[in-house]
Amino acid sequence: MTEGHRITVDKSDRHVRVVRDGQVLADSDSALLLRETGCPDRYYLPPADVRLDLLTPSGTRTYCPFKGTASYWSLPDAPDLVWAYPEPKPAVSGIKDHLCFYEVEVG
Protein backbone atom coordinates (compact mmCIF):
# COMPACT_ATOMS: atom_id res chain seq x y z
CA MET A 1 0.00 0.00 0.00
CA THR A 2 1.14 3.51 -0.60
CA GLU A 3 1.76 6.01 2.16
CA GLY A 4 -1.53 7.25 3.59
CA HIS A 5 -3.67 4.62 1.82
CA ARG A 6 -5.38 2.00 3.94
CA ILE A 7 -7.72 -0.87 3.32
CA THR A 8 -9.32 -2.95 6.04
CA VAL A 9 -11.58 -5.97 5.62
CA ASP A 10 -13.68 -7.08 8.56
CA LYS A 11 -16.69 -9.31 9.09
CA SER A 12 -19.75 -7.08 9.20
CA ASP A 13 -22.27 -7.44 12.00
CA ARG A 14 -24.98 -5.90 9.81
CA HIS A 15 -27.62 -7.56 7.65
CA VAL A 16 -27.13 -6.63 3.99
CA ARG A 17 -29.76 -6.82 1.23
CA VAL A 18 -29.64 -5.83 -2.40
CA VAL A 19 -33.00 -5.10 -4.02
CA ARG A 20 -33.50 -3.74 -7.53
CA ASP A 21 -36.94 -3.02 -8.97
CA GLY A 22 -38.53 -5.01 -6.15
CA GLN A 23 -36.43 -8.13 -6.76
CA VAL A 24 -34.03 -9.35 -4.08
CA LEU A 25 -30.60 -9.91 -5.66
CA ALA A 26 -28.74 -10.66 -2.43
CA ASP A 27 -29.48 -11.20 1.24
CA SER A 28 -26.64 -11.81 3.69
CA ASP A 29 -25.73 -11.99 7.36
CA SER A 30 -22.15 -12.95 6.34
CA ALA A 31 -20.97 -9.82 4.55
CA LEU A 32 -17.46 -8.45 4.75
CA LEU A 33 -17.01 -4.71 5.18
CA LEU A 34 -14.19 -3.18 3.17
CA ARG A 35 -13.05 0.29 4.15
CA GLU A 36 -10.63 2.05 1.82
CA THR A 37 -9.08 5.49 2.04
CA GLY A 38 -10.96 7.92 -0.20
CA CYS A 39 -13.72 5.44 -1.13
CA PRO A 40 -17.17 4.66 0.26
CA ASP A 41 -17.46 1.63 2.54
CA ARG A 42 -18.33 -1.46 0.52
CA TYR A 43 -19.98 -4.71 1.53
CA TYR A 44 -18.66 -7.88 -0.10
CA LEU A 45 -21.13 -10.78 -0.02
CA PRO A 46 -20.42 -14.50 -0.25
CA PRO A 47 -21.67 -16.03 -3.52
CA ALA A 48 -24.08 -18.31 -1.65
CA ASP A 49 -26.01 -15.19 -0.57
CA VAL A 50 -26.29 -13.71 -4.08
CA ARG A 51 -28.82 -14.65 -6.79
CA LEU A 52 -26.14 -15.48 -9.34
CA ASP A 53 -28.83 -17.02 -11.56
CA LEU A 54 -30.13 -13.50 -12.26
CA LEU A 55 -26.75 -12.05 -13.22
CA THR A 56 -24.87 -12.31 -16.50
CA PRO A 57 -21.07 -12.15 -16.63
CA SER A 58 -19.79 -9.00 -18.30
CA GLY A 59 -16.64 -8.55 -20.34
CA THR A 60 -15.69 -5.57 -18.21
CA ARG A 61 -12.49 -5.78 -16.17
CA THR A 62 -10.97 -3.02 -14.06
CA TYR A 63 -7.70 -2.88 -12.19
CA CYS A 64 -7.10 -1.47 -8.72
CA PRO A 65 -3.45 -1.28 -7.60
CA PHE A 66 -4.57 -2.15 -4.05
CA LYS A 67 -7.14 -4.91 -4.68
CA GLY A 68 -6.29 -6.40 -8.10
CA THR A 69 -8.40 -7.07 -11.19
CA ALA A 70 -12.18 -7.05 -10.84
CA SER A 71 -14.69 -9.01 -12.93
CA TYR A 72 -18.26 -7.73 -13.39
CA TRP A 73 -21.82 -9.04 -13.78
CA SER A 74 -24.91 -7.32 -15.14
CA LEU A 75 -28.68 -7.37 -15.22
CA PRO A 76 -30.41 -6.72 -18.57
CA ASP A 77 -31.10 -3.11 -17.57
CA ALA A 78 -28.09 -2.57 -15.29
CA PRO A 79 -24.67 -3.15 -16.83
CA ASP A 80 -21.77 -3.92 -14.50
CA LEU A 81 -23.97 -3.78 -11.41
CA VAL A 82 -21.80 -6.12 -9.34
CA TRP A 83 -18.12 -6.98 -9.21
CA ALA A 84 -15.72 -9.38 -7.52
CA TYR A 85 -11.99 -9.97 -7.27
CA PRO A 86 -11.27 -13.60 -8.26
CA GLU A 87 -7.55 -13.18 -7.44
CA PRO A 88 -7.28 -10.25 -5.00
CA LYS A 89 -4.01 -8.84 -3.71
CA PRO A 90 -2.76 -10.60 -0.54
CA ALA A 91 -3.68 -7.65 1.73
CA VAL A 92 -7.38 -8.13 0.86
CA SER A 93 -7.43 -11.88 0.25
CA GLY A 94 -10.58 -12.23 2.36
CA ILE A 95 -12.74 -10.71 -0.39
CA LYS A 96 -11.78 -13.44 -2.89
CA ASP A 97 -14.87 -14.35 -4.95
CA HIS A 98 -17.18 -12.23 -2.74
CA LEU A 99 -19.50 -9.97 -4.70
CA CYS A 100 -20.02 -6.26 -4.23
CA PHE A 101 -22.94 -4.13 -5.41
CA TYR A 102 -23.01 -0.38 -5.90
CA GLU A 103 -26.18 0.04 -3.81
CA VAL A 104 -27.13 -2.03 -0.78
CA GLU A 105 -29.57 -1.84 2.11
CA VAL A 106 -27.89 -2.24 5.47
CA GLY A 107 -29.86 -3.04 8.58
pTM of the full predicted structure?
Answer: 0.93
User: What would the pLDDT profile of 29-69 be if each residue is shown by its tens digit?
Assistant: 999 999 999 999 999 999 999 999 999 999 999 999 999 99
In this model, does residue 1 exceed pLDDT 70? no
Those residues with Cβ within 8 angstroms of residue 63's Cβ, 6 or more apart along the chain or in another chain: 69, 70
Q: What is the mean pLDDT of residues 72-100?
A: 96
CATH, domain range 7-106: 2.170.150.40
Show me where the domains of the chain are located.
Answer: 7-106
Question: How far, in Å, CA of 82 to CA of 70, rounded?
Answer: 10
